[in-house]
Structure formats: structure tokens, C-alpha cells
Structure 1
Amino acid sequence: MKTKVYLNKEKFIAGMTFKDADELESYNMALHACENTENVVENRKKLATFLQCRLDDFVCANQTHSSNFHQVTLEDKGRGASESDTAIVDTDALYTYEPNLVLCSFTADCVQVIFHNEVNGLIGVIHSGWQGTVKEISLNLFEHLKQVEHCNPSDLHVQIGAALSQEKFEVDEDVYSKFKDLGYADDFIYYNDQTRKYHIDNQQTVKKQCEVSGIPAEQITIDQTCTYLSTDGFSYRQDKESGRHMSFIIRKT
């Protein structure tokens, strides 16, 4: 059971699962991309045991590469945990103040953003594929947290999970133009004359969005693992039948 723990201090536990050939479906965590849903449920139960909680404490969304976010309440407990039909619909970011809930997000190349606030106990996860990045889902959520939730961005700590590397994220001009239009991603793009493709660092672009929202750069950490190049990675670019990693965070009482 390969699980990388990014944060385990005081009451916060956060991390990301990775491919493991010894587990069912190589430790795939996605109900929407699996051979057998029972295998995924078993994998999630193993993670729940590791986190010393129950599967019913998980909260999952039906991710659609949107810029939509949702504040999780106790009424959402267990949504999407064992069946996809109950997942929070059309949502790519979750946040909550509630303790003992595991917020979950799923990726196979996309950028994961896991964040917590040690002052007010806020936790959250963001799924930011390239579409979410150009829609500025991270920036939009953090602006919402500042303006509506009165959250001080200097109290936020961010972990950016493993994702597709710049080397392997090659795109045509249509996608390049969307990143170019952001106005702050130029430093994270290069052009390959031989392949006539643009290479974009989605992780660094998302990090920049966090910084623009006011989160101190020194409080943002990036996992440099490439989900395509690593044998522990699930990569949709490499395999359209790929499973998914789960990123998670919980605040324990």
C-alpha cells in the first residue's frame, strides 16, 4: 500500500496514494475509472484504516474539470465514498471546517492542491488539470476564502501533489494560448522546435496562482514526481485506461 504522507503534524494528516502492483487494480482509488468498484472500495477501506477512520468519513466529488467548489458540511459525510452516484456533483474543489472528514480528490496527471489553515482549522483539496488551471480554480477558491470566509491567506499552507511534468505535458497552440492569456504563466512554458509542441509546467502555474492569492511562496511545497515517468504513477496520457491517485486531507479532533 503506497501512500505518501505530505503532512502529519498535530491534528492534520494529508497525503497522496500511489500505484502499487501488490494491491487490487494496483491501488486504483477511482470508482469512475476501474475494472470493479468493489476493488476500489476495498482499497479505500485500507486507506481509511491507515488514517484511523472509516470509509463513511470520506467525501468525494464528481470531478468535471470545472472551476466549481463546494463547502463540505456534516451532511456531506460519506458522499461518493462507496458509490459514485452519491458524490458531490460537478465539483473540482472541496473545503471544510468540520473535523474528522476526509476530503478526497482524484488524478492521473492533473495537479492536486491540498491545503490547510492551522489558525482556523480549514482544510481543502483542489483538482486542477490544465482546464481547471486556465479557469483559475485555485485562484477563485482562495479569493472566495479571503472575501467570504475572511480567511487570511498568510495562514494557509499548500501542498501541490505529484502530476505530469513539464517534459511530458506537451500541447498544441490552442492550449498554449489559454495559458498565455493568464498573463503570469510565460515563465513556465517552453517551445520545442523539433516537435513543434509547447511544454507547460502546470504545477508551477498553479503555485503562481496560490502566490497571486496571497499565500506566501515558502508555505507552498511541490511534489516533483512525474506521474508519467514514475513507475508509481497513474498517467492518463500514458494509458487511457489508467487508474487514479487519491489526494486526501483530514483534521482530527
Structure 2
Amino acid sequence: MEPFVPMESAERISLFNIDKWMQHNKRLTVGFTGRQGGSSSGEYRSLNMGLHVGDDAPDVIANRKLVSQAIMWPFTAWTCTEQVHSNRVCVIDQALRGKGKDSHHDAIKKCDALITNEVGTLLVSYYADCVPLFFYDKVHSAIGLAHAGWRGTVQEIAKETIEAMTKHYGTDPAQLQVAIGPSIGQCCYEVDQSVISEVERLANRYQVNPAEQKWIETTNSSGKAQIDLKEINRQIMMEAGILPIHIELTTYCTGCRTDLFFSHRMENGKTGRMASWIGLTEGE
């Protein structure tokens, strides 16, 4: 069953909740935006969340405020990073709450993953094919988000995020709930030898055959191949101690579903961005 469930909102914007998690904890909000229903125009039409792609900033900020309104969170809680395709994890405290909400220049620098146990803080990151990773430790009321493109994936940003949550909050990986969100699928993600080599290097560290794991499928005589970033991240999570039954894996491919999502690859690099979000409110 698809874990990312379309949400109806009075604002008529496209949102997808991890419904299973939210049904079990009314304090939790977690999900992913689609591309429909916002203020942006042209290539960014219409619910573009990215301030860094060339869209008009007032339109993007209006879109972000629409999402905040739809999920019933104050925009002041919206907290995000610069995103540089690294594996660096940033711990969010009250001093960092609200960074990057209305200015890309104010976003947390040189970081692609966020973790916090601060209630009332909304972690947010942005995508147009890269893999959104969600982390929820219900035992310690801690949450995390990671942005995993191919570089972040082979640098094991998923593992780094899990280890950071263990270090800072006492998270037990065996109790951690994780989700892999809408992103480009193996069907649409052809890469060259430079990327293939990095994936094979990761597989060697794990002592697995990437072909047997279906991480890589060679498609033609040019040496290019189709890469499954979702499955690679799933394997990294399990190697880090996450139980398979605690992993929610989307069926959505952003490349196939440009009616629902932006896709950097399928739209030749000129497109908007979706946002992932996760936050906990006060209460029991």
C-alpha cells in the first residue's frame, strides 16, 4: 500500500501525508508536497517550494505559507538547509528554528540532513527527483529529514542521520520508523560510469553484488545503467539497524508522474521543487 496518501485541504494544494504515522500520533505532521495549487507561474507552475531555482521569491514564500496553513503550523516554525549534496547532519535547536523559511541565504549552510527533538519545529527540505528520507523516533520524540541525491546516497547520508539521532537522542535504530518518499525511480534514472563506479564502491563496502540487489541494471552498450536510489537507501537503512517492517517505501516515481511532481531530469533542469516536512507539537 502506498504510504504517501493525498490530503484534501481547503487551500486546494497537492499534499501527500504519511497517513499511517499520523494516525498513530496526533502530535505528528509529516508529508510531501506535489506541484499543483500554488502561486508560481511558467516553468515553476504552480506549487514551487524552492527559493533557489529562479522563481519569484514572493510566489515561493506565498506557496510555503499556503502549505503551513494547510498543515496548521505557523510559518515561523519552518526550518531548512542550503542542501549541497553532502552527508552532513545538523542538530536543530531553538536558535536555528525558522532558518531559511523566507530566504535561501538564511538557510542552514553546508548541510543536507536535519534532526531535532524540539517540539514546535518544522523540518523542511526540497526535491525534484532526489530521495526524501524521513525519520521518526516515537520513544524519544525525535525526528529527522535527509535529502539524498546520488552523492548523498553513496556518502550514506541515511546512516549518518540514524547515527546522529542515536548520539544526540538515544535513538535505538531497531525502534526507529523511517520512510522513503517520492523520487526518481530506476525506470527513469539513467547514469554514466562515474556514478556507477561510486555505487559499486558502496556495494563493495557492504560486500553485496549490486546487480543481485538490483541497484544497477545495464541498459545499453554505451556503458550507462539505470540506478535504483530508493532501494540503495533502503539497504543502507537496514545495514544501520532499521527493521524492514519499519520502512515505508513509496511507489511514486517523480520522472513518471510529472502530472503530480516536479522532475529536474524529465523537465530539462528548469522546474520547481517539492518540499518534505516533519514536525511534532506539544502534548502527550
State the TM bucket, normalised to the shorter chain. over 0.9
Name the residue aligned to 1:234: 262
Stretches of 4+ aligned residues off by more than 6 angstroms: none
C-alpha offsets along residues 142-190 of structure 1, whole Å, 9 cap, x if unaligned? Answer: 1233345431011210111100010111111111110011124701211
Name the residue aligned to 1:247: 276
C-alpha offsets along residues 40-64 of structure 1, whole Å, 9 cap, x if unaligned? Answer: 1111111111121211110010000
CA contact under 8 A between 1:192 and 1:198: conserved in structure 2? yes
RMSD of equivalent CA atoms? 1.3
Unmatched 5+ stretches in structure 2: 1-12, 41-45
Matched residue SS, 2:202: coil
C-alpha offsets along residues 36-88 of structure 1, whole Å, 9 cap, x if unaligned? Answer: 01111111111111121211110010000011110000111110001112110
**2-structure distance, mates of 1:182, 1:148:** 26
Of 187, 192, 214, which residue of structure 1 is paired with 2:219? 192
Q: Does 1:38 align with 2:53?
A: no
Matched residue SS, 2:136: strand
C-alpha offsets along residues 81-130 of structure 1, whole Å, 9 cap, x if unaligned? Answer: 01112110010000000011110010100000011111000001000000
Change beyond 3 A, Cα 1:94–1:82:
same
Unmatched 5+ stretches in structure 1: none
**2-structure distance, mates of 1:28, 1:34:** 11
Change beyond 3 A, Cα 1:185–1:134:
farther
CA contact under 8 A between 2:140 and 2:169: conserved in structure 1? no
**What are the within-5 Å matches in structure 2 for residues 186-225 of structure 1?**
186=210, 187=213, 188-193=215-220, 196-225=223-252
CA contact under 8 A between 1:154 and 1:216: conserved in structure 2? yes
TM-score (norm 1): 0.96
**What are the within-5 Å matches in structure 2 for residues 102-181 of structure 1?**
102-181=122-201
Residue type of the partner of 2:74? R
CA contact under 8 A between 1:55 and 1:82: conserved in structure 2? no
CA contact under 8 A between 2:115 and 2:145: conserved in structure 1? yes
CA contact under 8 A between 1:15 and 1:248: conserved in structure 2? yes
What percent of counterpart residues are identical? 28
TM-score (norm 2): 0.86
- Paired residues in the alignment total 252
